[in-house]
Chains A and B, each alone.
Chain A
Amino acid sequence: MNVDTDDDPMVIELYAYQFDWRARYSGEDNTLGEANVRLIEGVNQLGVDMSDPNGQDDIVTNELHIPTGRKILFKMRSQDVLHSAYMPHFRAQMNCVPGMITQFAFTPTVTTEEMRMNEEIVAKVRKINNIRKENSKALVAKGDEPLEPYEFDYMLLCNKICGSNHYNMQMKIVVHTPEEYEAWIKEQTTLAEALKQ
C-alpha cells in the first residue's frame, strides 16, 4: 500500500510467527530498529539488532494498542511462513512475507469503548452471549465449566493458511483516546530495559 508519510504516521511493526502475533512500537524516535531472524535470541524474540540506536527504545507487546486520530503505519514481517494481518473492523489486510517488509496504514477513529456502545455491536454481542448461554447449559450438564460471557474487542486475525493453528492465530486490538494511549505506552518497558533484566 502506498503511504503518504508527510502527515507523520506512528510506525508500528506487526510481527507474525506460527501461531501468534507481536507488535513492536518504534518508541520516542518513531523509527524501528533494524531486525533479522538471524538475531533471534532469548528475550529478543523479534531479532532486533541491539547495536542499532533506533532499536533501543522499541517496545514489544502481545496486544496492539493504538490511539484515535493519528495515522498508524504498520510494517509487517513474518518469521516463518506467509501470514496475513487481517483487521476486519478496519477493513485492513496485508500479507506478512518472510524476507520482506510489507506495509499498510490507517487512522483509527472509534475507540473500543465507543464501539462497545454501537447499536449493531450491542445487538451482535447480545446474540453471541445468548448462544453462549445455551451452549453453557449443555456444558454444565456434562459437569464442565460454563463459557465466559463475551465482550467486544477489535481483533487481528491471520488470514493466510499457515499451519495447524491457523484458525486461532489472533491478537487483541485496543483503540484508546490519545490520552489513554499515552498513559498505556508509558507503562511498557523498552527493549533495552527488557534485555538488561
Chain B
Amino acid sequence: MSAHAIDHVEDHHDDHGHHHKETFVTKYIFSQDHKMISKQYLITGLFMGIIGIAMSILFRLQLAWPDHEFTIYEVLLGKWGEGGVMDPNVYLALVTIHGTIMVFFVLTAGLSGTFSNLLIPLQIGARDMASGFLNMISYWLFFLSSVIMVLSLFVEAGPASAGWTIYPPLSALPQAIPGSGTGMTLWLVSMAIFIASSLLGSLNYIVTVLNLRTKGMSMTRLPLTIWAFFITAVIGVVSFPVLFSAALMLIMDRSFGTSFFLSDIYIAGEVLHNQGGSPVLFEHLFWFLGHPEVYIVILPAMGMVSEIMATNARKPIFGYRAMVASILAIAFLSTIVWGHHMFISGMNPFLGSVFTFTTLLIAIPSAVKSFNWITTIWRGNLQMNPAMLFSIGFVSTFITGGLTGIILGDSALDINVHDTYFVVAHFHLVMGISALYGLFAGVYHWFPKMFQGRMLNKNLGYVHFWVTVIGAYGVFFPMHFIGMAGLPRRYYTNTAFPYFDDLTDVNVVITIFAIITAAAQIVFLYNFISSMFYGKKGPKNPWKATTLEWTAEVKHIHGNWDGPIPHVYRWAYDYSKLNKDESDYVIPGQDFIPQHIPLQDNEEELNH
C-alpha cells in the first residue's frame, strides 16, 4: 500500500510543471502544499496569540490596580472601558476569550497545525500530505473560525463571557450575563467550524503517517516528532466529536427550547420551562474533550523537544521505545481522567476516587519522559542555541507544573484549591507555558526549513528566551501562594472585601512580570519578521541533524525532493555513534549519520 502510494506521488511529481502553473492565489492563498499551509497556520496562530496575550495584559492591569483608571481600557474596550474603568462583564469576556484563543487557536491549531504540516511529509519522506486538498480545506476552516471568533468581540452585548469552559446555564441564558447572547452564538459557531477543521487535519495526518512513509521508514524508525503528531491526531479524532456533541446540545438548549443542561431555573423574575436536564452532563461531555485537549496541546511540544534535545546534545534520545510507549500510555490515559475537573461538581464521590486513581497513573509515563529528557542531555555535547534553551525550559516548566498536578489530581486535596489561583498556576505552567516553549523551540529549530534556509537571529533569541523564562516563572510561581491563600480565580477585583487586601502586592508583582514577558515577545516577533526577509542563510543542514527534512531541497518545490525520495536505513538518533573499533565516529569526522545513509562497513547494527 505504502509503496504503491509513493509510486503514485512520484509519477505525479515527474510530470508536474508540465500542466499546472502556480499563480499568486494557488501559491500563497489557496495553496495545497504542506509547507505553505504550515506557514499559514503559524502566522494565523501567532496573530491570534497576539490578541490572546494582549487580553491577558488588560485583565492583569485590572487585577493589579483595580481602583486606577487606565485610558488604555477606553481606547481598546470602548464603551466597556468608559472613563478608564473596566466593566466587570468585559473582564469576564477577556478571560473567556483569552482562554479560548490560547488553548484552541494558538496551542492546538498554531502548534500542532504548523508542525504536523511541516514535518510529517518531510520527516517520513513523502512528497506531500495524503490529501493536499483536504489539508487546504482544513486550514481555511481554521481561518474562518478565527475570523468568526475575532468578529464576536465586536457584537453589541459583548463576546462570550462564561469562561472558556462555557458551563451552562450561564452560557445558555442571556439573562444571566450579556455575553451569552449573540457573542456566545458566534463562539459556538466558531468552535463548531474549528472542530471540523481539526478533524480534517487529524485524519489527514493519520493517513499520511500510516501510508506515505518512504522505503525503510518503519514505525520504529520514525522520529519522535512524528510519533507525537500521529498520536495527537488520534486523540483529536477520538475526543473532538464529543465537544461537538456538547456544543450542538448547547445550541439546541439556547435556541430550540430543549432541556439537555437546564432544569429548575428562576432568573430575572420568572421560572423557565426547562426541566430535567443537568449542567453536570455538560461538564462530563466538555471535559471528555477538555482533558485530552491538554495532551493534544502538549504532545506535539514533547515530540519536538525530544528531537531538538537529542540533536543539540549530540546524543541518541535516551530510551526511544520507552518514549514511544509513554506517548501511547499518555494518550490512552488522557481519555479516562476527565472527572478530575469535576471533583466538587456534585458528581458521585465514588467516581472521584476512580478518577484520582487514573489521574495519578499519568504521573508514570510523564515521569518516564522527564527522566529520559534529562538523561538525554546528561553528559552530552550541549549546543546551547535558542531552540535547545527553550527545550530545556520546557522540561523545567513541565516538571514544576506537573508536581502541582499531583495535588490537584487528588479528590480530597483538590477541594481546598479547586478554582483558585493554584489551578491557574498549575495549568499555565504545565500546558500553557510548556507548550509555548515547545512552539518557540520548534520555530527556532525549523525556521530555516520554513523560510528557505534563512535562520532566526541567535542573539535576539537569547534575549527572548531569558526574559521569557524569568518572566513566565515570575508570573505563575507566585500564583501558587495566592491560590493556597484561598484567592478564587475569575474575580474582577480582589478588593471588594478586605480579606485579600494583603495579596494586592503579589498581584502587582505578577502584572509587572506579565508586562515584561509580553514585551519580550515583541523581540521575537521582530526577529521572526525581519529574519523572514533578511535572515542569514545557513547551510542546508544547519543543526547537523539526522532526519530526512534536512536532505530535502532548501528552495521550496512542490514534492520536496528534486530527485527520488531518499530511502531510510536507520533510526533517527545516530548521534556520536562510534565505529566497531571505537577509533572514530562511523563517518570519520562527522558526529551524526543521517537516516538515509546505509549501514557502513565498520559499523555495528544496533537494535533500538
Complex Cα gap A132–B499 (Å): 11
B-contacting residues, A93-145, CB 8 Å: 93-95, 97-100, 102, 124, 127-128, 131-132
Given A161-B162, A161-B163, A166 contacting B265 (CB threshold 8 A): no
Shortest CB–CB separation between residue A43 and chain B, in angstroms? 15
Q: B89 touching A168 by the CB < 8 A rule? A: no
Q: Complex Cα distance A36/B162, Å?
A: 25
How extensive is the interface on chain B, given as a class? Answer: 35 or more
Does residue A185 face the partner (Cβ distance < 8 Å to B)?
Answer: no
Q: Is the CB of B344 within 8 A of A82?
A: no
Q: B33-41, B274-282, B361-369, B546-554: which one contacts chain A?
A: B274-282
Is B154 engaged at the interface, CB distance under 8 Å to the other chain?
A: no
Task: Decide yes or no: A164 and B501 within 8 Å by CB, A98-B169, A98-B263, A98-B264 being known contacts.
Answer: no
Chain B residue nearest to A128 in the complex (CB):
B501
B488, A157: Cβ atoms closer than 8 Å: yes
Asked whether any CB of chain B lies closer than 8 Å to the CB of A159, the reply is yes
In the complex, how many angstroms separate the beta carbon of B85 from the nearest chain A beta carbon?
A: 14
- Complex Cα gap A86–B89 (Å): 22
Contact A164 B177 (CB under 8 A): yes
For the complex, is A37 an interface residue (Cβ under 8 Å from B)? yes
Q: Are A99 and B262 in contact (CB under 8 A)?
A: yes
Q: Are A98's CB and B279's CB within 8 A?
A: yes
Q: Which of B89, B266, B277, B494 contacts A40 (CB 8 A)?
A: B266
Cβ contact within 8 Å between B498 and A99: no
Q: Is B416 among interface residues, defined by CB-CB distance under 8 A?
A: yes
Which of A76, A79, A97, A170 meets B266, CB within 8 Å? A79
Query: Given A99-B263, A155-B499, are A37 and B92 neighbors across the interface (CB < 8 Å)?
Result: no
Which B residues, 243 to 294, have Cβ-Cβ distances below 8 Å to chain A?
262-267, 271, 276-280
CA distance A86 to B423 in the complex (A): 15
Tell me, yes or no, whether A53 is within 8 Å of chain B by CB: no
Query: Which residues on A sit within 8 Å (CB–CB) of B498?
Result: 128, 132, 147, 150
Q: Does A92 contact B (CB under 8 A)?
A: yes
Given A81-B169, A82-B170, A94-B346 in contact, is the A159-B488 Cβ separation under 8 Å?
yes
- Is B420 in the interface zone, CB < 8 Å from A? yes
Contact check, A97 vs B176: say whether CB atoms are below 8 A apart.
no
Q: Is B400 an interface residue (CB 8 A)?
A: no
Report A-chain residues with C-beta under 8 Å of the C-beta of B88.
164-165, 167
Judge if A146 is at the interface, Cβ distance under 8 Å: no
Interface residues as binary, B344-369 with A (CB distance below 8 Å gives 1, 0 otherwise)? 11100110000000000000000000
Quick check: is B418 within 8 A (CB to CB) of the other chain? yes
Contact call A159/B279, Cβ cutoff below 8 A? no
Interface of B is mostly: loop
A91 within 8 A of B: yes
Residues 51 to 84 of chain A near chain B (Cβ within 8 Å): 76, 79-82, 84
Closest to B419 in A: A159
Partner of B418 from the list A80, A93, A161, A162 (CB cut-off 8 Å) is A93
- Distance, CA A22 to CA B262, complexed state (A): 22
Whether A159 lies near B346 (C-beta < 8 A) is: no
| Closest CB in chain B relative to A145 CB, distance in Å | 15
Contact of A91 with B416 in the complex, beta carbons under 8 Å: yes
On chain A, the residues within 8 Å of B167 by CB distance are: 82, 160-161
Q: In the complex, which residues of chain A have a beta carbon less than 8 angstroms from the beta carbon of B499? A: 128, 150, 155
Whether A164 pairs with B173 at a CB distance below 8 angstroms is no
Given contacts A99-B262, A161-B92, contact A167 B493 (CB under 8 A): yes
The chain A residue with its CB closest to the CB of B274 is A99
**Residue A186 CB within 8 A of the other chain:** no
Cα A196 to Cα B88 with chains together (Å): 40
Chain B nearest CB from A60 CB (Å) reads: 16
Across the interface, name the chain A residue whose C-beta is closest to B259: A99
B67: shortest Cβ distance to chain A, in Å? 9
Asked if A132 and B486 make an inter-chain contact with CB atoms under 8 angstroms apart, the answer reads no
Interface check A183, CB cutoff 8 A: no
Q: How far is the CA of A182 from the CA of B337 in the complex (A)?
A: 45
Minimum C-beta distance from A15 to chain B (A): 11
Chain A 149-187: CB-based contact to B (< 8 A → 1; otherwise 0): 010000101111111111110100000000000000000
Query: Is B264 touching A132 in the complex (CB atoms < 8 A)?
Result: no
Which among A82, A88, A124, A161 has the highest number of chain B CB atoms within 10 Å?
A161
Contact B344 A93 (CB under 8 A): yes
Q: Nearest CB to that of A163 among chain B residues?
A: B177
B residues near A (Cβ < 8 Å) are: 88-89, 92, 162-163, 167-170, 173, 176-177, 262-267, 271, 276-280, 344-346, 349-350, 415-416, 418-420, 486, 488, 490-494, 496-499, 501-502, 504
Contacts A/B (CB < 8 Å), 7 sampled: A37-B264, A40-B271, A81-B173, A88-B486, A95-B346, A99-B276, A161-B167
Other than A80-B266, A163-B170, give 13 A-B pairs with Cβ distance below 8 A.
A37-B266, A79-B267, A81-B173, A81-B265, A84-B344, A88-B486, A93-B418, A95-B344, A98-B265, A99-B277, A99-B279, A124-B502, A162-B176
| 8 A-B pairs closest in CB distance | A99-B263, A88-B486, A102-B346, A37-B266, A167-B491, A168-B496, A150-B498, A91-B416
